[in-house]
A and B are shown apart, each in its own frame.
Chain A
Amino acid sequence: MRRILIALGVALMAYAAVGAVLDGVNLIGVPLFLAGVLILNDGIILPLVIGLGALVGRVAPRAWGGWTRAAAVISVSVTIVALPLVLGFGRVADNPSVLPGSYGRGLLLILALVWLVALARGLARRGDPARRAGVLVGLGVGVAVALIGQLRGHMTAAAAGLTPGSAVTIAVTIIGGALIGSVLRYRPGRLLSLITTGVLAGLLWWTVEWLTVLPLFAGAEVSWSLGDAQASFGYLVAAMIQGGVTAGLIAAVGARLPVRTVDTLVPPEETRPRVLIVGGGFAGVGVARRLQQRHSTAAGAPEVVLVSDSNYQLFTPMLTGVAAGTLSQQHIGAPLRAGLRNTTIVHATVESVDMAERQITVQPEAGEAVTMGYDHLVLAVGSVPDYRGLPGLEQYAFTLKSLADATLLREHVLRQLELADGERDSLRRRRLLTVVVAGGGFAGAELVAELRDLVHSVRRFFPRLDPEELRFILLHSQDRILPELDERLAAHALERLRAKGIEVRLNVRLTGVDAEEASLDDGRTIGTGTVVWTAGNAPSPLVRELGFELERGAIACDATMQVRGRADVWALGDCAAVPDLAQPGAYLPPTAQHALREGTAVADNILAVLDGRAPTPFRFRTIALLVALGHQDGAVQIGRWLLSGRLAWALWRGVYLSKLPGLEKRVRVSIDWLLDVFFPRDVILTEPRRGRPPRDRMATMASVNVGDDAR
């Protein structure tokens, strides 16, 4: 298919080229023109339209249907494209336009048609009964007004120049009636207001009808001129009376319709379908946020409940920043309650799911377990570190999955410096000053670079330490780090890390850890008190307990993200194995980028199911891969576009700052970053004397130290 189209295009171009040569057109001007068109189209208009689409998708009112959104995007893009023509840019006297007629009029006509279609669609949509009644009443009054207008011709005389033929005038008048009706809504006790508003709507419609639309169709320029207004003054009075009458009738009808007062605008809880989301990470919040913005046509806004055992959404990409002491820990968490105001937040852990009864059991931090029913269940419980059964890791290795992990790690590294500062035994000191990170993926590479920066930025407070003794080691089991990145970029990143003095060991696996050393599968050991494990994650253990069909340990689901075999249970994010439609047999990677979009898609699919439509399979290609490599260094891959160094780092910061949920946190993180430029990082240890309370390593270290002092 594609080939045929390409061939067709090439043939057309060849035809045009031959024609151009034969007709002897300007051979310099035309290519120039074509190049200009290309640049204009691909460089300006295309991005503009895409950007607009995104903007409209984001800010457009949720009551707007797809048609209205499309109309908005189309009209703005068309306006922007046509505006230079309308304004007559580049029009010179000796090169008048070849097109007949006025560009402005043409553009207005097109816009009018686009909106007419959108409006017709909007009015035809089933909506709430009060609005429909309003539109119908307005339509009726519009018909009456159009008829009276046709029967009594005497007012027309003055406005003769403004009217196109009676068919168009009648049509426009009737549409206007419906529009007036559509903005008026009866509320008990507001009759006078309604009538007044109706008069106002009539006045506004007069400006639209008599000063804009009718002249447009009559072939005149729209001028909003006083002359037109004076000529159609009678119609102003008529339109205002029409508005008032429409309002009065709407009130009469509305008083008979079932009352929708302020309190019943939100349907009572029981009748609304309940969507229960488990997990307050990227995926879960993505679903909830989307459900807050859209609602189903059939069922209205569903009741959304989010159960999570953390009461904030953790922004994991900045977790290394907390571990490295550049960011304050609260600053990278977005409180669920602040961000999701239409969602009921339940701070509890999910214990079990009963799909037959459609209910789940949750355990709050204290008190009895509670069961909750659902109509749709969304599982987004994320992942936990997976030590692959390696000995000692559970006890001795650090991880980086939560704020507590990050804080603990930061304190531990700083504590090692404190200990090393007083340590005379060089072997022990080296052990204290060696940091090993296992796993050369994004988290590992970012972390090892950041920890190096942390240590170096506070080194001057420990004058007795020898910089030569500081060691940072990154272990990776494959022959290149950052396997998701383009090979060249990954090689470059490796070079950068090595240039910073980080030892990167490839093709080597961690086989175990104890209090003093890490052992590797090549038989060697590294003396270290700090091992961080970022080499493996597995879906949350809850997933296994629930008894779903699993795929690589994660919940197996369809491309619509429905759990296999169930229409009302959805799984997404790190805990789900979502098939990648672009590569059969593969699954989407566990990243925040995907989790967020999956969230939006699941929400849309749930609404589709509530409306009785079929859910759509999820497709998404990674947009960009960004990795920060410590101080003002990074690597970025956007499609085939590779970038490294300061610019990449700046891009990383810009992108993630914009993704951070909530204005407040964005400001706070920016301030943290700014302060980091001017002040050294903090070396305060908040946990008194013990790094990881339940473990005995700290005790042995402390005794070593005391022994030293006694000596």
Chain B
Amino acid sequence: MSVFAAAAARQGAIAGLVGGFGSGLPLYYSDLLPAVSGMRSAPAGLVVHLVVAVVLGGVFGVLLRRRGSDPAQVVFWGLIFGTFQWYLEALTVRPLLQGESIGWGIEAARAALPALLGDLLYGLITAVVFVLLQPAPAMATDRRGVAGWSAVLLRGVVSGAAAAGLLAVVLGDSFTSIATGGTGVLALGIVAGLGYVLLYPAGPAGTGPAAARGAGLGFMVWVVLPVTTTPLLRGETLPWTADQIRALFPALPGSLLLGVLAAVLATWLSGLRRVLFADPADRADDESLAVRTTRALVRGATGGVAGGLLFTVIMAQIGYFGTVAQLVGSASTGVGVVVHLLISVVLGASYGLFFRGQSDDLAAGIGWGISWGFLWWVLGALTILPVGLGGSPQWTAAAAAAAFPSLIGHLCYGSALGAILYSLEANDKPWWIRPEAPVSVGERLSRRRTELAGSAPPVWAAIALVAVTLTVVLAP
């Protein structure tokens, strides 16, 4: 092991220790440690927990030794690290060590839910501490002064607050109830906005990726605030058992939407500057606005229709058409099909627009597509559809479980859409094979490449994994 890796392992171990305390102490005081660690006595459980935390932290440090300079990457890897850890450690290794059969059944998973939240929290804390432990120069690769950073932070606050305000106005009580009223969601929004700009200070990116990252961020906010910090501040024990989490589930869609909106607004705020004021010389390499927009819309719509058609049969079988038909006040299946195809076109075209030129291989296309599909499950199936049918957003665990077929539909649709759009883009001279691109463009492209190699995959995986896992495990 090189000196470099050893140093990274050391930093990782320290971060892991902090993460272990961060997740272990609340567990300890909530009397959940015996259940989580499998030890009968709580102090012994804490020790085991800390030891595991340090070891895994070291592993984390080594794995991410070259990526420490990019906070977004590290944090999202932390999230996915925690998730994987739950599957591998809590569901697989620990039962084996204890001489039981591996716990891949639904009951075992449900029982291990506190461990999932513990692992997620551990991953997040470890990642953040690991970033903070990195030597300063690595953090300060961009040359922003105090003024520059204030502008960035301001952008975060403004977009977070605006996102919270917008959602509160549009959704009313269903939204504000996720965090005890207006000030609560405002605080959540500001945290989300700040979190986003701190992770991605570099300004404009595609709207689509921003939305996907926002969803990941929203999930982290949910884990950290309503599920952990708020109850602790109120002096309650951790509400981490399956039943308690089920009661907190309604805050998850709200946090996700909040994260998405905050991220999108922050991106648009910095993108606006570029659209309005950029010197033509700086964007000489771009295709004209009309051409690229039209092309993106047409491609996206093509992919949308194809994706929509692909799943019509299954949609028909799960009785989805009857529901969407009600959106336009009809009960006929035919109307449902038409509405479904229209929705597919809209989702496809918007995907084309927002995710234009963001994928450099098939897997990336599928990844972004899944994220988009998931977002529309939350936004469409859980929020807009019930509201459109004259009700309020259906954010409970039971409603999410009832909408499970739709979740699978959205994930499959999204991945088909992403794959098709990627293939269509690959026809043209795609951005990822432009070694001759001029410097200004090259910088943007290389940022995109870094993201695809770094922080994007954990975002896709976290979104899909968490959505499926929580919905299945929390189903009543």
Nearest Cβ in chain A — how far from B268, in angstroms?
A: 25
Q: Which of the segments A233-241, A397-405, A586-594, A646-654 contacts the partner chain?
A: A233-241
Digitize A177-198: 1 where CB-to-B-CB distance is under 8 Å, 0 elsewhere.
0000001110101101110110
B427 at the interface (CB under 8 A from A): yes
Residue of B306, B405, B424, B454 touching A193 (CB-CB under 8 A): B454
B45 at the interface (CB under 8 A from A): no
Contact residues of B between 111 and 156, Cβ < 8 Å to A: none
Nearest Cβ in chain A — how far from B377, in angstroms?
A: 12
Known: A199-B461, A229-B472. A222 touches B317 (CB 8 A): yes
Contacting residues, chain A, for B412 (C-beta < 8 A)? 204, 207-208
Contact residues of A between 68 and 105, Cβ < 8 Å to B: 72, 76, 79-80, 83, 86-89, 104
Contacting residues, chain A, for B435 (C-beta < 8 A)? 262-263
B358 at the interface (CB under 8 A from A): no
Q: Which of the segments A55-63, A463-471, A691-699 contacts the partner chain?
A: A55-63
Nearest Cβ in chain B — how far from A638, in angstroms?
A: 27
Residue of A63, A88, A199 touching B84 (CB-CB under 8 A): A199
B242 at the interface (CB under 8 A from A): no
CA distance in complex: A183, B415 (Å):
12
CA distance in complex: A230, B80 (Å):
22
CA distance in complex: A223, B337 (Å):
17
B189 at the interface (CB under 8 A from A): no
Query: Is B363 a contact of A184 with CB atoms below 8 Å?
Result: yes
Residue of B92, B337, B458, B468 touching A236 (CB-CB under 8 A): B468
Known: A59-B424, A226-B472. A193 touches B317 (CB 8 A): no
Contacting residues, chain B, for A230 (C-beta < 8 A)? 106, 472, 475
Contacting residues, chain B, for A226 (C-beta < 8 A)? 401-402, 404-405, 471-472, 475
Contact residues of B between 256 and 307, Cβ < 8 Å to A: 288, 290-291, 294, 299, 302, 306
Residue of A60, A86, A190, A265 touching B433 (CB-CB under 8 A): A265
Residue of B87, B317, B318, B429 touching A342 (CB-CB under 8 A): B429
Query: Is B80 a contact of A196 with CB atoms below 8 Å?
Result: yes
CB-based nearest A residue for B295? A663
Contacting residues, chain A, for B475 (C-beta < 8 A)? 226, 230
B346 at the interface (CB under 8 A from A): no
CA distance in complex: A190, B457 (Å):
10
Contact residues of B between 435 and 476, Cβ < 8 Å to A: 435, 449, 452-454, 456-458, 460-461, 464-465, 468, 471-473, 475
B44 at the interface (CB under 8 A from A): no
A462 at the interface (CB under 8 A from B): no
Residue of A192, A233, A262 touching B472 (CB-CB under 8 A): A233
Digitize B367-388: 1 where CB-to-A-CB distance is under 8 Å, 0 elsewhere.
1001000000000000000000
CA distance in complex: A61, B418 (Å):
13
Query: Is A223 a contact of B426 with CB atoms below 8 Å?
Result: no
Query: Is A223 a contact of B423 with CB atoms below 8 Å?
Result: no
B411 at the interface (CB under 8 A from A): yes
Nearest Cβ in chain A — how far from B412, in angstroms?
A: 6
Query: Is B104 a contact of A233 with CB atoms below 8 Å?
Result: yes
CA distance in complex: A411, B461 (Å):
66
CA distance in complex: A224, B406 (Å):
8
A293 at the interface (CB under 8 A from B): yes
CA distance in complex: A263, B436 (Å):
9
CA distance in complex: A233, B290 (Å):
47
A64 at the interface (CB under 8 A from B): yes
Query: Is A197 a contact of B337 with CB atoms below 8 Å?
Result: no
Secondary structure class of chain B's binding surface, majority of residues: helix
Contacting residues, chain A, for B31 (C-beta < 8 A)? none
Query: Is B291 a contact of A207 with CB atoms below 8 Å?
Result: no
Contact residues of A between 213 and 230, Cβ < 8 Å to B: 221-226, 229-230
Query: Is B318 a contact of A223 with CB atoms below 8 Å?
Result: yes
Residue of A107, A155, A240 touching B87 (CB-CB under 8 A): A240
Query: Is A108 a contact of B427 with CB atoms below 8 Å?
Result: no
CA distance in complex: A399, B333 (Å):
61
Query: Is B317 a contact of A664 with CB atoms below 8 Å?
Result: no
Most buried by B among A76, A201, A203: A203
Known: A155-B104, A187-B453, A663-B294. A87 touches B472 (CB 8 A): no
Nearest Cβ in chain A — how far from B424, in angstroms?
A: 6
Most buried by A among B87, B299, B321: B87
B330 at the interface (CB under 8 A from A): no
Query: Is B333 a contact of A87 with CB atoms below 8 Å?
Result: yes
CA distance in complex: A194, B461 (Å):
11
CA distance in complex: A189, B309 (Å):
38
Known: A230-B472, A233-B105. A223 touches B405 (CB 8 A): yes
Query: Is B366 a contact of A200 with CB atoms below 8 Å?
Result: yes
Known: A223-B318, A238-B104. A83 touches B313 (CB 8 A): yes
A111 at the interface (CB under 8 A from B): yes
Nearest Cβ in chain B — how far from A700, in angstroms?
A: 48
Most buried by A among B370, B454, B460, B461: B461
Query: Is B309 a contact of A76 with CB atoms below 8 Å?
Result: yes
Query: Is A224 a contact of B106 with CB atoms below 8 Å?
Result: no
Most buried by B among A184, A190, A196, A238: A196
Residue of A111, A196, A225 touching B313 (CB-CB under 8 A): A111
Residue of A155, A185, A263 touching B363 (CB-CB under 8 A): A185
Query: Is B468 a contact of A61 with CB atoms below 8 Å?
Result: no
Query: Is B101 a contact of A225 with CB atoms below 8 Å?
Result: no
Contacting residues, chain B, for A221 (C-beta < 8 A)? 317
Nearest Cβ in chain A — how far from B431, in angstroms?
A: 11
Query: Is B363 a contact of A197 with CB atoms below 8 Å?
Result: yes
B362 at the interface (CB under 8 A from A): yes
Residue of B370, B408, B427, B465 touching A199 (CB-CB under 8 A): B465
A640 at the interface (CB under 8 A from B): no
Nearest Cβ in chain B — how far from A127, in angstroms?
A: 13
CB-based nearest A residue for B476? A226
CA distance in complex: A42, B407 (Å):
39
CB-based nearest A residue for B426? A61
Nearest Cβ in chain B — how far from A73, in angstroms?
A: 11
Nearest Cβ in chain B — how far from A216, in angstroms?
A: 10
Contacting residues, chain A, for B454 (C-beta < 8 A)? 193
Known: A192-B63, A200-B367, A204-B415. A61 touches B105 (CB 8 A): no
Contacting residues, chain A, for B402 (C-beta < 8 A)? 226
Nearest Cβ in chain A — how far from B106, in angstroms?
A: 5
Query: Is A204 a contact of B424 with CB atoms below 8 Å?
Result: no
Nearest Cβ in chain A — how far from B188, in angstroms?
A: 27
Contact residues of A between 274 and 327, Cβ < 8 Å to B: 293
Residue of A86, A262, A664 touching B291 (CB-CB under 8 A): A664
CA distance in complex: A190, B428 (Å):
25
Query: Is A185 a contact of B361 with CB atoms below 8 Å?
Result: yes
A169 at the interface (CB under 8 A from B): no
CA distance in complex: A208, B408 (Å):
9
CA distance in complex: A293, B429 (Å):
10
Query: Is A107 a contact of B313 with CB atoms below 8 Å?
Result: yes
B169 at the interface (CB under 8 A from A): no
Query: Is B411 a contact of A87 with CB atoms below 8 Å?
Result: no
Query: Is B453 a contact of A189 with CB atoms below 8 Å?
Result: yes
Contacting residues, chain B, for A663 (C-beta < 8 A)? 290-291, 294
CA distance in complex: A89, B423 (Å):
35
A212 at the interface (CB under 8 A from B): yes
Closest 3 CB pairs of A and B: A61-B423, A234-B104, A224-B405
Task: Provide 17 A-B residue pairs closer than 8 Å at the C-beta atoms, listed in order of the A residue.
Answer: A62-B427, A76-B306, A79-B313, A86-B313, A185-B362, A200-B370, A200-B461, A200-B465, A203-B464, A222-B314, A223-B317, A224-B408, A225-B318, A226-B401, A234-B105, A237-B104, A663-B291
- Beyond A59-B299, A155-B104, A222-B317: 14 further Cβ-contacts under 8 Å? A61-B426, A79-B312, A83-B337, A104-B317, A192-B64, A192-B77, A193-B457, A196-B460, A204-B415, A212-B314, A224-B408, A229-B468, A230-B472, A240-B465
Binding site for B on A (CB under 8 A): 59-64, 72, 76, 79-80, 83, 86-89, 104, 107-108, 111, 154-155, 158, 183-185, 187, 189-190, 192-194, 196-197, 199-201, 203-204, 207-208, 211-212, 221-226, 229-231, 233-234, 236-238, 240-241, 262-263, 265-266, 293, 341-342, 663-664, 667
